[in-house]
Chain A
Amino acid sequence: MTYFPEEVVEHIFSFLPLHSDRNTVSLVCRVWYEVERLSRRAVFVGNCYAVRPERLVQRFPNVRTLTVKGKPHFADFNLVPPDWGGYAGPWIDAAARSCMGLEELRMKRMVVLDENLELLARSFPRFKALVLISCEGFSTDGLAAIASHCKLLRELDLQENDVDDHGPRWLSCFPDSCTSLVSLNFACIKGEVNPGALERLVARSPNLRSLRLNRSVSVDTLSKILVRTPNLEDLGTGNLTDESESYLRLSSALEKCKMLRSLSGFWDASPICVPFIYPLCHHLTGLNLSYTPTLDYSDLTKMISRCVKLQRLWVLDCISDKGLQVVASSCKDLQELRVFPSDFYVAGYSVVTEEGLVAISSGCPKLSSLLYFCHQMTNEALITVAKNCPNFIRFRLCILEPKKPDAITNQPLDEGFGAIVRECKGLRRLSISGLLTDKVFMDIGKYGKQLEMLSIAFAGDSDKGMMHVMNGCKNLRKLEIRDSPFSDVALLGNVAKYETMRSLWMSGCNVTLKGCQVLATKMPMLNVEIMNELDESSEMEENHGDPSRVDKLYVYRTTAGARNDAPDFVKIL
């Protein structure tokens, strides 16, 4: 291979789509390293603190798509104190200096400031796509900068961000010459948008395929927009509360959208909107009703029973077991199901139980991705589900009451989850809940050979539990544990393992300062971050009086050394 001209080697590399493969070939020899780094178009940084931004842009100056992730996953649930870090600034600064050809930036769980967005907007003449997921720190002024200056913008996708609203001006900042939009998602913007500006923007965007509106957009405005978007494939509606007259207009507008395959939004949806959606149902492959508590089981099932091609369904648990049975008998192609809780506190009767899950598993054999919040579960049900659906790649079960046992036998749920890991040989992501002993971890370690991400809460009896996982799960990348009885013994039981993983999170466990210091000393290529910040909320977890006990621990491999932007409450050992 070394006798081939570099252009040929580069061409061969272009057939390697996976980052991991490109990383591997770069290790072969100096020539290949050089060819690979200069021709690399997409770089994925799973932990923004694992590598210095300047180092990255120097190595890959011709990168076009950059993806960076910041805070640990449990930040989504308020377990990471504010101001912890994950700043986008250094990444955008570095790219602005060295990667003029940047076209796409994707960021998740990062702190992005308006000034960062302004720099972004001005620095990359070919910039085409900005995707921000679960980020915070910016306002609609930052979006105005993007709209104003990114002349070739194709994609502005804002998912679940916390955005300060400074008024509707930003949408009007797209110049009249901007006609390139393919995807626009502003569902998470809290404030009003100017309906006229929105209509005009859509009217001059002939390539628009995906449009997700926010709650402020009325049915009337939606109707006017849809007349202009006959090629729309993915729609997130605004609010659907209006009187039935507006729906007649909506109905005829929707009829023109023959390519529509995916629906979401349904903010405050009134049941009268349901029949107007019927003509679309037959073609839908994706449906997200998880922000709609105003539709009950009968409204939901009237809609879903018509969605015979559905592959992805997100709903609230008010669909009930009965409703899930309707899903099971109607949606034979279902691949992904998410059932979210409509009531966040543990009490009350079961709206969705193990029965609904069993029904889904027997009706939908293609199911591969599950997120299921429920009030109770049984081993028998999980064993049945495992047999019915051996193709699970993602299996996340959240029983709302911590440590709740099998609802019939009162036993731990070890057997049930054991069956899942045993039968589902391709399982890559698993979240467990309910009453669980070390036994379940034995099975996870023994059978979870493809497991990459594991989430543990209120589970296990002893350090053996965590050790089973650390020793057995060969492909483990992310391990996040809360409120489980694992101590320094488990933390230090297999220190070399952490070098093969992206990160470890442990909160509410029994690790001590001493144990963390030992880890930091033994493994200098890891950052060991501890946080003993008191929660600001009144729901304080009890400190067991041991001052050396570490409340929150975050360990990750890094080539960048200790970070210099850590707040006071983070101690890096």
Chain B
Amino acid sequence: MSEEPARSSTESSSAASSGLDFEDTALTLRLPGSDPADRKRAASTSDPAAARSPRASDAPPSPKARVVGWPPVSRNRRIALPRGKFVKVAVAGAPYQRKVDLEAYAGYDQLLAALQDKFTAHFTVRRGANEEMQLVDVVSGAEYVPTYEDNYGDWMLVGDVPWRSV
């Protein structure tokens, strides 16, 4: 009965939209400078020889570019929807999945602490040898590795991408 590090996974339901300055590294496996849209289009375009210019805007506008009254959504809708970014968290061996609001936390440390709150029976947060926070099983001490599935179906390690672009 080997003790494999169990996985807690976080599915990312939609991507970065903090409106802050945005780096191309967010939530995608690709070479720097290449455009995820090109990768997607390459499979579907009928004319591969057609010249394709890079997508006009890769980076979202900064907060100053937010326009009054845009998008045209009524006030009722704006206030009714929380600005939260809810993602599902599943822990191997836990009967229920939980949802966390990524926007409620200022960094990965806080996120891990929140996960500990929701899954207290399963793991706790401990500061590891290299100063990073780790999730360890309450009984066996084995480490849980937090991973997430990005929009392209790839499993990624939590913590590589700068928090503010999450």
Contacts and interface: CB of A to CB of B under 8 A. Distances in A.
Given A346-B60, A347-B17, A348-B60, A398 B71 contact: yes
Interface stretch (B49-57, B108-116, B137-145): B49-57
Given A291-B81, A346-B60, A404-B57, A296 B70 contact: no
Query: Chain B at the A interface: mostly helix, strand, loop or mixed?
Result: loop
Nearest to A396: B72
B163 to A, nearest CB: 16
Contact of B81 (A160, A342, A373): A342
Interface stretch (B1-9, B61-69, B122-130, B154-162): B61-69
B68 A79 contact: yes
A294 B98 CA distance: 11
Classify chain A: how many residues form its interface, as a range.
35 or more
B53 to A, nearest CB: 5
A535 B22 CA distance: 28
A77 interface: yes
Given A74-B69, A294-B99, A402-B67, A345 B17 contact: yes
Contacts of A402: 67, 70
B69 A79 contact: yes
B16 interface: yes
B70 A77 contact: yes
A410 B41 CA distance: 14
A293 B81 contact: yes
Interface in A508-561: 535, 537, 539, 541
A190 to B, nearest CB: 10
B62 to A, nearest CB: 10
Contacts of B77: 290-291, 340
B30 interface: no
B82 A293 contact: yes
Contacts, number: 112
Interface in B82-96: 82-86, 88
A405 B68 contact: no
Nearest to A136: B75
B120 interface: no
Nearest to A431: B72
A482 interface: yes
A188 B80 CA distance: 10
B34 interface: no
Query: Chain A at the B interface: mostly helix, strand, loop or mixed?
Result: loop
Contact of B86 (A76, A294, A404): A294
Contacts of A535: 68
Given A296-B88, A318-B14, A348-B14, A408 B71 contact: no
B70 A457 contact: yes
B15 A348 contact: yes
A170 B4 CA distance: 60
Contact of A160 (B69, B72, B76, B83): B76
Contact of B60 (A344, A345, A410, A483): A345
Contacts of A348: 14-17, 60
B13 A296 contact: yes
A407 B44 CA distance: 13
B39 interface: no
A78 interface: yes
Nearest to B20: A347
A410 B69 contact: no
A79 B16 CA distance: 28
A216 B76 CA distance: 16
Which residue, A79, A349, A483, has most C-beta atoms of chain B within 10 A?
A349
A541 B17 contact: no
A401 interface: yes
Nearest to A371: B72
A148 to B, nearest CB: 27
A537 B63 CA distance: 13
A539 B36 CA distance: 31
Given A340-B77, A343-B17, A398-B71, 11 more contacts: A160-B74, A294-B86, A296-B88, A318-B13, A343-B85, A347-B17, A347-B18, A455-B72, A535-B68, A539-B67, A541-B67
Interface of A: 74, 76-79, 134, 160, 162, 188, 290-291, 293-294, 296, 316, 318, 340-349, 351, 373, 398, 400-402, 404-405, 407-408, 410, 431, 455, 457, 482-483, 535, 537, 539, 541
